[in-house]
Amino acid sequence: MVNKKAEIVRVHFPPDANCLLSVMGHCLCSRHYVNVVIAGKHPAPQWLTMDAAVKHCTQGIGIWKWVSNDQAAPPDVVMACCGDVPTLETLAAVSILREHLPELRIRVVNVVDLMKLQPPTEHPHGLADVDFDELFTKDKPVIFAFHAYPWLIHRLTYRRTNHDRFHVRGYKEEGTITTPFNMTVLNDLDRFHLVMDAIERLPQTGERGLYLKQELKDKLIEHKQYIEEFGQDMPEIRNWKWASRKKECQLRRLASGTYCISMAGRASTVKRSMTTR
C-alpha cells in the first residue's frame, strides 16, 4: 500500500485498544482515502487512557514520557516501536534495561501513523527534518521494533540525518504453529533480542552489559525448553506488566539518587473489543 499515491494512502498501527478506537473513529469519518489499520484481536495491555490515546493518535507519533527517563538530559538510546506486539516487547525490553542498567537514559517513541516517518516532500503527513531529529536525535542509536518487514522503515527514513543508526527488527518470514511470544523470538523481535541490540550499541554498559547479554541468551534457551515441554509461554512472559509505581520509584532512585513522588503511567490488561480487516 505504501507504493500508492501519498495523497490517498494512510497506514495506522494503533498500540492498544483505546488507540484502535480513536484510529477507527477517524477512518470511518474520512473520505477519499485508503486507510489501512493493523491491529490484533487477542487480550493485550492497555497503555493509554482514552483522552491520551486521542491526543497520541492525532499527533501520529510521539515520545511516551511515562516510560522514558531522559527528561533531564539527552538519551543514550531511543527505543522506537510501531504496532501492538512491537510496543509490548519494546516496553518489556525497556523495563529490563532500566532494572539492570538504571543509569541509562532511554527515550521511548511510539509510531501510530507510519507515514510520519517520511519527509513532508514525500507524504503530507511526513515530519519535518527538525521535528524528526528532535524525536530520534541526530546521533544516538535507535532500536526500532516494527510490525512488518524491517526494510520498509529503512526505505521510509533513508533521507533522515540519523538513518545510519537505525537498527530495525520486524517480520522475517519466520513462523509456524507456536506460542505468541515464540513468534517474536523466531523473528528476533522479542524483548530479549531488543535489549541485546541496545547493549551492542552502548559501549558504556561495559561488563554489566556483557553479563546481561549472557543472562538473556540463557533466558532464550529456557524459553525454548519451557514451550517444548508445556506448550505455552513462561508465566513471566504471559503475566508481564509494566512496573508498579513503587518499583518505578525504586528504579528512579537507583539511577538518580533522589526520591520519586509520583509516576504517570501503568498498564492493565484488557481484551480488544474491535477487529479490523
Within a domain: 38: no
List alpha helices for the chain, DSSP H.
17-29, 50-59, 84-100, 129-136, 150-157, 180-186, 191-200, 206-230, 235-238, 245-256
Query: What count of other Cβ atoms lies within 10 Å of the Cβ of residue 211?
Result: 12
pLDDT (tens digit, 9 = 90+) per residue, 110-157? 999 999 999 999 999 999 999 999 999 999 999 999 999 999 999 999
Q: How many domains does the chain have?
A: 1
**What is the CATH number for 259?**
3.40.50.920
Cell of 162: 540519523
Within a domain: 190: yes
- Is the pLDDT at 193 greater than 80, yes or no? yes
Instruction: Name the 3-class secondary structure at 162.
Output: coil
- Is the pLDDT at 272 greater than 50, yes or no? no
Mean pLDDT of the chain: 89
pLDDT average, residue stretch 186-193: 97
Instruction: Name the 3-class secondary structure at 142.
Output: strand
- Is the pLDDT at 273 greater than 60, yes or no? no
Instruction: Tell me what pLDDT residue 8 has.
Output: 82
Within a domain: 30: no
Instruction: Tell me what pLDDT residue 175 has.
Output: 84
Within a domain: 104: yes
Within a domain: 26: no
Within a domain: 74: yes
Q: What is the pTM of this model?
A: 0.87
Within a domain: 6: no
Within a domain: 11: no
Which residue range forms the structural domain that includes residue 93?
62-264
pLDDT (tens digit, 9 = 90+) per residue, 44-90? 899 999 999 999 999 999 999 999 999 999 999 999 999 999 999 99
